[in-house]
Amino acid sequence: MDFNVRKLATDAGIFFSRAVQFTEEKLGQAEKTELDAHFENLLSRADCTKNWTEKIYRQTEVVLQPNPGARIEEFLYEKLDRKVPPRPTNGEILGQFMLEAAKEFGSGTPYGSTLIKVGDCQRRLGGAEREFLQTSSISFLIPLRNFLEGDWRTISRERKLLENRRLDLDACKARVKKAKAAETKAGAVPDFQETRPRNYVLSASASALWNEELDKAEHELRVAQTEFDRQAEVTRLLLEGISSTHVNHLRCLCEFVEAQAMYYSQCHKYMLELQRELGRWLCIRFHSCPIVNALHSSPSVNIEEVQPPASGTRKAKVLYDYDAADSSELSLRADELITVYTVPGMDSDWLIGERGNQKGKVPVTYLELLS
């Protein structure tokens, strides 16, 4: 490997000079070329975009993968350019445990058969979660990360280069100012008349030298100004591209919301199906059990003679369909609203429901009581 000491020393000197100049600017001891208001607004907007994109990205990672150990593992696999091994979701693991427990307890037992139903639902919920995580990562996380690791790095690099060009420009301005002051001083008339011939010669020589130095400094200033203007234009175009970045992130955000809506809709559907299946299963077992039927019918209630109380009636929303087992019950249809109330001596798992002129007992588990 080549090691250029001269280049290293030159770079170190430039770095030190710029550091001193930057410090003097902060202390108000040196002039600074200010950017126009539009450019400053672009810089502020870019910084705001970067900061909030980074926060949203990090927090979305936490929402999608709450386990910090799993996030670190995925990060390491990504840096090693290796595929992340498939990992079951918590819902899938829970569902598998329930299914294995059902085998131990016996699928023919009430508890075992219920574990099978719930376990299968949990596995479907876990599968829906897996699809949601994959979709969200592709449509939302990856575009945000690409901006932070790609576009923003390019913007940062060009901004740093622009800052160096500005420091070089201000240094050239300072040299021109210094050369002009020295040339003016060298061209002044000597004060001592007795030494005028010698002073005149020295003054003319010094004036010529400073005039040459001034020409050189002004040339360097023109070059520095050109490089600064060119770099400012490049940086400005990149900063104005933040608007298109916002448009892209908006599209990704909408896709993320759509993925969330689909995921929660699937979960709601699976849970309603499970509730309906468990409700029917419990209802069948409830009516097929002689002891429960005897307890249920022991305090006989004549539905025709039941009158609603003066106060205490409530509205209820039907969660899912229910077919009446006999004439004392009221059939229900999902999502309809009925009036319900209780009467003395009635089982706490049942209410009297009314729909228009129809009246009958309804199971509480099929209702959502409204305030």
Per-residue pLDDT of the chain (371 residues; tens, 9 = 90+): 455 656 555 555 555 566 665 665 555 555 677 888 999 999 999 999 999 999 999 999 999 888 777 777 777 777 777 777 778 888 999 999 999 999 999 888 888 989 999 999 999 999 999 999 999 999 999 999 999 999 999 999 999 999 888 888 888 888 888 877 776 776 655 544 444 554 544 455 656 676 777 788 888 889 989 999 999 999 999 999 999 999 999 999 999 999 999 999 999 999 988 888 887 655 555 444 443 344 344 445 566 666 777 677 889 999 888 888 888 889 998 889 999 998 887 888 889 999 988 899 998 888 888 87
pLDDT at 298: 40
pTM of this structure = 0.64
Residue 140: how many other CB atoms lie within 10 Å = 24
Rounded Cα distance between 201 and 218, Å, is 26
pLDDT at 290: 44
> For residues 88-122, b (16+ Cβ closer than 10 Å) or e, as one string?
ebebbebbeebbeebeeeeeeeeebebbbbbbbbb
Helix, strand and coil in the chain, % to nearest 5: 70, 10, 20
Bridge partners (DSSP) listed for residue 316: 338, 369
- In three-state secondary structure terms, 208 is helix
Do the beta carbons of residue 274 and residue 121 sit within 8 Å? yes
Do the beta carbons of residue 259 and residue 135 sit within 8 Å? yes
341: which residues sit within 8 A by CB, 6+ positions away? Answer: 308, 309, 312, 313, 314, 351, 352
